[in-house]
Structure 1
Amino acid sequence: MAAQLSDPPERGEPAGPKEDRHFVTSLARGLDVLACFKRNEDALANSEIAARCGLARSTVSRLTYTLTKLGYLHHVPHSGAYRLGTALLALGATALAGLDVRQIARPGMQDLADFARASVGLGVRDRLSMRYIECCRGEVAIALNIDTGSRISMARSAMGRAYLAACDAAERQGIMDDFRSVDEVAWPDLRDGIEQALEEYRMTGCVRSFGDWQPTVSAIAVAFRPGGGLPPMTINCGAPTVILDPAFLLEDVRPRLIRLAASLEGVMGP
């Protein structure tokens, strides 16, 4: 049985620095339109897209028209709504196929999932979130409802906090500034949780999120640099707390997770 979890995209994510003359706002808006579609949604109307992206209906109409002409959206005549087009699906498949690290990591991830009787995921940064690019599951009565393509919070998840621990200081500061600009009220708690995670990473080689991302979920994560010009990636291991003891994660799973991440360090070359 899958635990029904949901983690919508972070609202108000900065599209890009307005003062940057190299930043193409129209391109960013078009990508925002594509990114606003959620898993298991058949189609969205222009009004729904406009509400999610914070754009005027007239702007969205031009964007959806253009994206449809290019094949990235498909217009549904009887409803007037739009769904993701085949050109976008092909683009995503090509991108995933290029990440050979997924194939390299999968056997070790499955072994760890079987040992922990939990879910093990491989993730990359997606703006202020983390995106799963691979997921393996052990034999459990209750599994997390997460699969390849799922998006989770960077600030509250173990996967995201591990990324923050591994990225360079300049990138980390930029992300932290964006977190603060998105939600000033939530920022103090987010900052405290992240700073604690960074210290934990220095001390133990991994980070935890016990009830921070979802109240009923415990997870730990480790980051690694695959090389080949790719940014840091993270591997997590987690499950509903009712079936996975946090102490077992830290004492038994953590050393194996650290070894798995170390084995993937630099696998894509310099």
Structure 2
Amino acid sequence: MTRRNDRSHARDQQDQQDDDDAGDLLADSAQDRHFVTALARGLEVLSAFRSGDSFLANHELADRTRLPKSTVTRLTYTLTKLGYLHVVPESGKYRLGTATGALGSAMLANLDVRQVARPLMQALAAETGAVIALSARDQLSMLYLECCRSTSIVTLSLDVGSRIPLGTSAAGRALLAAVAPSERTGLMERLRALDEGNWPQVQRGIDAANAEFQRGQCAYSVGDWVREVHAVATALNPGRGLPLMALSAAGAAQYFPEARLRDEIRPKLLETVREIERRLGQRYGEDAS
């Protein structure tokens, strides 16, 4: 299997996992009397667009959201009227609208942790040659909020908005190891339900990463997500009501063997996280300890 096919297969698996998890979560939450199902369905349609998607038809949105096509047709009509989707007359397909972009841009622009972290992340990327990413959990994925890379020709194609799997990526494993045990148990149950066949292997990786994290504050993925990618990650607590995040360093396996991740990259990654948390604490006059 070629590297391109490896990456494509991994993306396809992640896309299917996101679709399945979103549908299950919507079905479960619908039992809550405070839950507004129509709103949730509209947001699921918007969430069906992923990095790299330019246009999607109603039937593609129905497949991804697991909603009836008639429901999706009404939702896309409404979202188009509100400016969250734009329809392409020639094809009848939809693309994300400017109203959606305004929401995303406002969120990212006001996410202080990105502003504080970016120069430190860029310095680490330049020093190590790795792709340095800040990510947060979105259902059963890790979503890239910021991404910095060096000028090296050999690099990964992931960027802000990219999604990586929770169970097999270093970032996802670091986050699973850092959250409360009850939350970790619930997330692992959801991961198992999505892929019973591969669950024993995924669980072994998560359990090993959790033990590693307790010893050294970092988790690793050495070809577990994509065969030719090695990565190390640790948790970052931004405070101010924001959820736990992960900071990761990743690169091509041939340039980032496991020994280098442990001996060289790990200490620098931990130092960078401590500095980000310290600066965030200073910004808000909080105790950085």
Query: Is 1:79–2:94 an aligned residue pair?
Result: no
> Shift of residue 110 of structure 1?
1.3
Cα pair 1:118 1:139 within 8 Å, conserved: no
2:207 counterpart SS class: helix
Contact 1:123–1:159 (CA under 8 A) maintained in structure 2 = yes
1:12 maps onto 2:24 in alignment: no
The 2-side partners of 1:22 and 1:223 are apart by: 32
RMSD: 1.6
Distance 1:186 1:24 in 2: 34
Q: Which amino acid aligns with 1:117?
A: G
Query: 1:32 aligned to 38, 44, 47, which one?
Result: 44
More helix by share: 2
**Structure 1 range deviating more: 98-107 or 37-46:** 37-46
Match of 2:35 among 13, 19, 23: 23
Q: Hey, what does 2:211 align to over in structure 1? A: 199
What amino acid does structure 1 have at the position aligned with 2:196?
A: E
Q: How does the TM-score come out when normalised to structure 1?
A: 0.94
Residue type matched to 2:264 in 1? D
The count of residues paired between Structure 1 and Structure 2 equals 268
Matches of 2:118 and 2:35 in 1, distance apart? 37
Q: CA deviation at 1:102?
A: 0.8
The answer for the alignment partner of 2:246 in structure 1 is: 234
Contact 2:120 2:276 (C-alpha < 8 Å) held by counterparts: no
Aligned residues of 2:114 and 2:145 also touching (Cα < 8 A): yes
Deviation sequence 1:64-121 (CA, Å, 0-9, x none):
1111111111111121111100000000000101111111111211121112111110
Q: How does 1:176-195 map to 2 (within 5 A)?
A: 176-195=188-207
Q: Which runs of 4+ in 1 moved over 4 A?
A: none
Matches within 5 A, 1:99-110: 99-110=111-122
Measured after TM superposition, the shift of residue 178 of structure 1 is 1.2
1:63-212 mapped onto 2 (5 Å cutoff): 63-212=75-224
Fraction of identical pairs, as percent: 47
| Deviation sequence 1:228-248 (CA, Å, 0-9, x none) | 110011100010112222211
Q: Partner of 1:265: helix, strand, or coil?
A: helix
| Deviation for aligned residue 1:43 | 1.0
Deviation at 1:155, TM superposition (A): 0.7
Aligned partner letter, 2:201 = D
Q: Give the AA of the match of 2:106.
A: T
Distance in 2 (CA, whole Å) between partners of 1:145 and 1:221 is 18
Specify every segment of 5 or more residues in structure 1 that has no aligned partner in the other structure, as ranges. Answer: none
Structure 2: 5+ residue stretches without partners: none
- Superposed displacement of residue 249, structure 1: 1.3
Taking the aligned partners of 1:106 and 1:222, their CA distance within structure 2 comes to: 16
User: Is 1:220 matched with 2:225?
Assistant: no
CA deviation profile, 1:162-213 (whole Å, cap 9, x unmatched): 1111222232222112112222222222222111111100011100000011
